[in-house]
Structure 1
Amino acid sequence: MSSRHIDISPKVQDALSRRRPVVALESTIITHGMPCPENLEMADRVERIIEEEGVTPATIAVLDGVIKVGLSQAEKDQLAQSSNAMKLSRADLAFAVSQNRTGGTTVAATMIAAHLAGIKVFATGGIGGVHIGAATSFDISADLDELARTPVIVVSAGAKAILDIGKTLEVLETRGVPVIGYQTDTMPAFWSRQSPYPAPLRLDDVSAIASFFRTREDLQLGGGVLIANPVPETHEIAAADMKGIIEAAHRLAHENGVSGKAVTPFLLSTILELTAGRSLVTNIALVENNARLAARIAASLAA
């Protein structure tokens, strides 16, 4: 990719050149996912967790039309303070670059940039998926198609619980995306360790995940791998407790005519209010947990 469109930080470039492990991180959690200052505090803490595992973090965003792979502290501050940051996916990534815009990268856009930079592992909170009511709204996240086409390991706490997890799993199966429960037979549901759905596949250690990914590369199967990593038990909110809260948030979104890319941020902020901040504590815990697992997978893959 032309150097005028992508800027890999010296630290990340050095790690890649030495074939050292690197983990990509998204930036919509800074621009759209959490309130300030919790967003910056969490971004810094997640990077430190990855570094503690001997792995280089690479937070990805678009700043003034340049895809940045590995943000400096000043660049993270700039992103957090941007009042008109776009929420970027595959459809509008090139638009933001061509128009010198600034934006946070979603799962899909982060996967694209990570792959362009040569990064094979990406940690996030939860992926997008099939929204409730998609049979009439056709609201399905581009994350699912990106997982089918871009060869990156994505470590998440499953799909966000505000989504239709069952239909999300069906779409992933149709697209040929392996969904692996890490040390679990049950799909996690973001804030909760369990959903009503079984995990399609299961692996219990990072070396097995690395071996599986290498085998897919050898077989030239293409596409990514989704690792479903349950939130730590000490921080989970039981699915039964979340059910009514999520339903109430959906009703409010419908009543306020919220649609498109605004749906997920609206639902998450509403749930934050309805849980009196508890959902944010759990959200932070699961992102940190995913970052730690992603770092260990990256280290095993590099070995």
Structure 2
Amino acid sequence: MTYAPILSPEVATAKSEGHALVALESTIITHGMPYPQNLETARRVEAEVRAAGAVPATIAVIDGQLHAGLTDAQLENLAQAQGVSKLSRADLAACMAAGGTGATTVAATMIGAHLAGIKVFATGGIGGVHKGAEDSFDISADLRELSETPVTVVAAGAKAILDLPKTLEVLETYGVPVIAYGQDVFPAFWSAASDLIAPLRMDSAADIAAAHALRAQLGLPGGQLIANPIPAEAEIAKTEIDPIIVQAMAEAGAQGIAGKAVTPFLLQRIFELTEGRSLEANIALVLNNARLAAAIARELG
């Protein structure tokens, strides 16, 4: 028996009528920014998906139940909730079994989307290989999930605090298509371009949707990573952001911060060092990814 998530009325109607659907993660709400900015941003992203011709389905666990699509009241409650778990593949079932409430990361959102029959997911940036992973073995479960779960993930690349060359190497090893949208280089989250050539390039949502469908027809497991560069007007230049990342990482090391605490610390410190511009850029790239994801979902029908 396959577990079926609870669908919101909007998502249930969209599925029954054959409308395009786009999954959204919920950690941006619970772990990304304070209330009420988190709620405002969640509503903006959902509105962006609707404006682009698709229906948003925010994935989360509420009181032990996996949901695909949240009502506005549920969205507001989640935005104000305390002690919400951050869920990936390893702890998704445990949280549900205990009747807990949890926000889904990229990996867990992919699982929830697939169980709900949703083929496309828009996020900010995926997790990846952390710097120093040759010693810490700190590699995000997002990469393995992309190789196993057939969902096309639209992101602005991997978070720039990560080791991007190693992240691309692991994705290649896992057989995950990494497709840069509209450019030849791999984007670097807050910056539109890194120094890395993207493995693949596509210039239209139709081509991306066709590749998704053909992977299923060929019997290939896993999804696709669509690396969508941040809009030029919102980006922070690589020459500006790179020294800030280096400083934040040095401070994390000096304070002995490790494991799951590293990413939240780095993102908060980068926010402070950029006087809030990193968060503004983050919101802009998520909105941009929502638009492209909706276009891909429409092509997939």
* TM-score of the pair, normalised by structure 2: 0.98
Find the counterpart in structure 2 of residue 116 from structure 1. 115
Equivalences for residues 1-303 of structure 1 within 5 A: 1-2=2-3, 6-302=5-301
| Structure 2, unaligned runs of 5 or more | none
Give the superposed CA RMSD. 0.9
CA shift at 1:27, angstroms? 0.4
CA–CA separation in structure 1 for the residues paired with 2:243 and 2:207: 37
CA shift at 1:2, angstroms? 4.1
CA shift at 1:206, angstroms? 0.6
Q: Secondary structure at the match of 1:189?
A: coil
CA shift at 1:153, angstroms? 0.3
Would you say the 8 A contact 1:79–1:103 is kept in 2? no
Identity %: 60
Would you say the 8 A contact 1:181–1:228 is kept in 2? yes
CA–CA separation in structure 1 for the residues paired with 2:162 and 2:29: 21
Q: Secondary structure at the match of 2:31?
A: helix
The total of aligned residue pairs comes to 300
Letter in 1 for 2:191: S
Runs of 4+ in structure 1 deviating by more than 4 angstroms, as ranges, are none
Letter in 2 for 1:28: T
Would you say the 8 A contact 1:111–1:152 is kept in 2? yes
Change (3 A) 1:168 1:2: closer
CA–CA separation in structure 2 for the residues paired with 1:217 and 1:135: 34
Deviations 1:149-170 (A, max 9, x none): 0000000000000000000000
Q: Secondary structure at the match of 2:93?
A: helix
CA shift at 1:72, angstroms? 1.1
Larger deviation: 265-274 or 254-263? 254-263
CA–CA separation in structure 2 for the residues paired with 1:205 and 1:251: 40
CA–CA separation in structure 1 for the residues paired with 2:126 and 2:239: 21
Would you say the 8 A contact 2:3–2:115 is kept in 1? no
* TM-score of the pair, normalised by structure 1: 0.97
Q: Secondary structure at the match of 1:20?
A: coil
